[in-house]
Structure 1
């Protein structure tokens, strides 16, 4: 999977397990929230998390073999799991680093996003404002007003804290993003679907909510000899 796209796909949802259904029982379908209710609910969830750290596992799957051939994708795009660490401090501070299968670091202190690939000795520098709608992982560190401007929010079951977001811009890197919050009110799982028929799952574990994070975590200085690309 292209490493830059891997960075863009840093996201997740919580899938609720369904109990077996007895043939004689009748169950009412979950009641979805209105868009206004869903937006307000998501804002409350995000506002309660000032900072958090977590380990993550990110896996991308393709809907079918035919889709792979049609889109020109190879087997290496499927079923790979990347592991790493994420640290967030709201508003606007974000650190994401994959440690395996390959190493890549995404860092922002609130204005500029750095995407650093040590294997290529390359660092991409981008505006945070330009990337909040295209890099789903940055949603977790953004301010809520910017998020609401960039996404249409839905809540399939208004009694559950999981949400599906749709970018308002038609040229984004993904088509939908579902995010689920755990009992500690921090993100537990996110699911990202894109136009290539790929679905990326990001699962968080060892989550610590509202813990102190050193300010230096979000500062990035390209190592000597790094090729810097402005976008």
Structure 2
């Protein structure tokens, strides 16, 4: 598995039920006759849900489909564990089919690919502004600055977000809640791929050690700065 494969799903091309949805286009067609919330109401409702999530841990299953030839990446399913904590701390660890770790905090992002013994270091401020990671680890009050927020059906805690930035790496991002817990995220990227991330064993607002969001490159690996 290439290093860019998983980081793309988290960084915008992060991070994670009884009412799961498939891809956003299918949901829109199913709820076309249902009442949709206006953008301000949708933003306020999503903000309220996310503001109550101070931290989150979960297992995840990530599936990518479509347009593999255009992107150069293969479709497939990946699984592992994740944790996020406000402000701006997240950890995304893929264990199957290959080991990869993404760790971010307020200033730095690390992507560690164990198989090829390589770690990439990036500045967070260049990555976080209009990415899915902002949803679960950033300031909820700033989400509306970066996304147009919609709620296709007022009776369901399901939201579809569209980035305002013209250079965003994805076209839309959907997030679904069950009992106020995030249970699924679906990302449609600019290359025609759809990445679905299902969360299980979700735990909210537990104490997470700060060590989970720090990374020190092991001896003997290549470190790349971007």
TM-score (norm 2): 0.85
Q: Distance in 2 between matches of 1:14 and 1:133?
A: 27
The separation in 1 between residues aligned to 2:68 and 2:214, in whole angstroms, is 38
Identify unmatched segments of 5+ residues in structure 2.
Answer: 23-30
Asked whether the equivalents of residues 59 and 82 of structure 2 are also in contact (C-alpha less than 8 Å), the reply is yes
Over the residues paired in the alignment, what is the CA RMSD in angstroms? Answer: 2.2
Rate the CA distance shift 1:187–1:221 in 2: closer, same or farther, 3 A.
same
Per-residue deviation at 1:176? 0.5
Q: What is aligned with 1:151?
A: 147
Counterparts of 2:71 and 2:107 in 1: how far apart (Å)?
A: 35
Q: Does 1:136 align with 2:132?
A: yes
Q: CA deviation at 1:188?
A: 0.2
Q: 2:50 matched to which residue of 1?
A: 46
User: After superposition, what is the alpha-carbon deviation per residue over 1:126-175, rounded to whole angstroms, capped at 9, x for unaligned?
Assistant: 22222114542343111123322221111111221111111111222211
Identify which of 145, 161, 164 aligns with 1:168.
164
Match of 2:198 among 193, 200, 203: 203
Alpha-carbon deviation of 1:55? Answer: 0.3
**SS of aligned partner of 2:152:** coil
Alignment of 1:18-37 (within 5 A): 29-37=33-41
The answer to whether the Cα contact below 8 Å between 2:130 and 2:146 also exists between their aligned partners in 1 is no
Q: Which has the larger radius of gyration?
A: 1
Provide the TM-score with structure 1 as the length reference.
Answer: 0.84
Q: Which residue of 2 aligns with 1:190?
A: 185
**How far apart are residue 122 of structure 1 and its match?**
1.6
| Correspondence for 1:3 | 3
The whole-number CA distance in structure 1 between the counterparts of 2:110 and 2:190 is 25
* Larger displacement relative to structure 2 (133-142 or 210-219): 133-142
**How far apart, CA to CA, are the structure 2 residues paired with 1:47 and 1:72?**
35
Aligned to 1:213: 208
Q: Which residue of 1 aligns with 2:107?
A: 111
1:224 is matched with: 219
- The equivalent residue for 1:60 is 64
- The match for 1:82 is 78
Q: Contact conserved, 1:8 with 1:137, CA < 8 A, in 2?
A: no
